[in-house]
Structure 1
């Protein structure tokens, strides 16, 4: 890793985890205010960007804020410095602080907000609740001298190719013989100019995801000993990793709805939750959608969920879920705060050996109080 890290490098790291292409079209992700090219000094991760959070960033000498909820979700028609948003933007600009947001892309991403929530609560064997898209897969076939087969295979794996489930380095190889004649002006690794060569080669086949295909080809070419490596790329009908909103899985053992509610409250450190349904009902299959997930109650029921954990459940949606026999645990939108520590840990791993501090905001941005 280079010694100087700019804001755009942090953005790239975030988008390796939560690619921007996963975000909904209506969402506002990426750079919100600031610069791509300033040097990173100190990073702060927050759920929301509010004036109090900006004040905290200033006090902590932070120059890059990573948030989940976009600061500029709706277009600004005017920049009135007398409003809370205007004052906040003024402070950001005056103190040279950049803001970047990863929202629905971090919700949908593998290992993102919904997976983190499942991990906290103890939900296992998870699947996507609502599939939005699946990664396109390609077969990459390369022909390489036997002496360099392992080197090229390792390069493919390093690029992300050949990963199937929890297995890496997944390839198939077969032996054969390649022919070529180096023409004038070439500098062949094997053979001589103007002479037809017969070389014992290995054909290596593997699978690459669409998003990593360019990197796979680049690593293949760099590792291959030939000036002009021979390789083929074939689109496949197989579906790759599925992406979508929400998760559904099972608890290790069934428990009562009340017990699960207490577990959610404790593990997510919430002062208050709302529950619909019979407290004594045994539940095991659980759907989870951080943020506002009321639109998906019918899907959760259709997928066989006993209970649906989400936030911002309005009265009539809660009533509908109750009547159809789907219990609901409304733990509030603020449960998405779990992204703060996980994002901090992720960035610290990417920035190891560099003297860049990554901290989480201590400012509470949940607007609700309970009496």
Structure 2
């Protein structure tokens, strides 16, 4: 499948026009690869480490020509491109090695098998619906039921096992034996949706990048907030996207092994 055909297929599923006004989905760098057979490296964040990984594959005879990322490389238009600047270096390497960079961000968050939907599937939630509906069949986050219900402690252990976050932060509770029936999930930075989650009747909200007072707000509103980290809550969707690309019989596609969490926890 040519890269142009792949992008057409993807955008019929997750149209870039659905992105938020502040976002920058779609082509970040297109160095003239549209008519080439797609050989894709999928990643969460397009970094120099991922670009070097793509270049290393090319050196072994696998001519990777597309980095397909969730996070955009460019959020705001740069005012200059200078030596030593990461975006400038990514652009230089992309054109030098003929590797495109494409981003699917808030458009991918909303769709079936997108970031939130994959989290709901991992936790085996049932009767799932969006936290916030954006248009028919689309929306941010997912809310669903656990059948059978489980204790909060069991849910935390399940999240730890299935997402493997380096750390779990959660609202203070005196009862890890509390039965949980309804859970809300949203990969990445989801604390701004706390009010919407409360309205769904969810008892637990799994997301990331939550601040001190957002934990306070959740506690005061009777919602158990669990922060599993940005990487752990969004990386599974990249894995699922790789599997979907593989089902298209693309010549070569691989999930990046150089994605970075950008956080470490001192033990």
User: Does the alignment reach a TM-score above 0.5?
Assistant: yes
The one of 338, 341, 347 equivalent to 2:236 is 338
**How far 1:341 sits from its partner (Å)?**
1.9
Q: TM-score, normalised by structure 2?
A: 0.92
> What is residue 44 of structure 2 aligned with on the other side?
47
Residue in structure 1 matched with residue 78 of structure 2 by the alignment: 76
CA-CA distance at 1:20 after TM superposition: 2.0
**Contact 1:22–1:109 (Cα < 8 Å) also in 2:** no
Deviations 1:44-81 (A, max 9, x none): 10000000110001001211111011111221111112
Contact conserved, 1:40 with 1:64, CA < 8 A, in 2?
no
* Distance in 2, Cα, partners of 1:245 & 1:258: 26
Aligned to 1:364: 259
Greater helix fraction, Structure 1 or Structure 2: 2
Distance 1:45 1:325 in 2: 38
Corresponding position of 1:19: 15
Provide Cα deviations, 1:69-105, integer angstroms capped at 9, x if missing partner. 1111221111112122222221111111001111111
Residue 141 of structure 2 aligns to a residue whose secondary structure is strand
Q: CA deviation at 1:297?
A: 0.8
Give the distance between the partners of 1:36 and 1:273, measured in 2 at CA: 41
Equivalent in 88, 91, 94 of residue 89 of structure 1: 91
Whole-Å separation in 2 of the counterparts to 1:364 and 1:23? 23
Q: Is the 8 A contact 1:129 1:245 kept in 2?
A: yes
CA contact (8 A) 2:127 2:144 kept: yes
RMSD between superposed Cα atoms in Å? 1.4
What TM-score do you get using the length of structure 1 for normalisation? 0.67
The residue that corresponds to 1:347 in the other structure is 245
Deviation per residue, 1:310-356 (Å, 9 max, x gap): 01011111111012110011011112001222111111222x2x6x1
Q: Conserved in 1, the CA contact under 8 Å of 2:113 and 2:240?
A: no
Determine which structure has more spread, i.e. the larger CA radius of gyration: 1
Q: Give aligned pairs, total.
A: 257
User: SS at the partner of 1:347?
Assistant: helix
* Matched residue, 1:251: 146
More strand by share: 1
CA displacement 1:231-252 (0-9 Å, x = unmatched): xxxxxxxxxxx31111111111
Give 2:219's aligned residue. Answer: 322
User: Are the equivalent residues in 2 in contact too, given 1:261–1:275 (CA < 8 A)?
Assistant: no
- Runs of 4+ residues over 3 Å off in structure 1: none
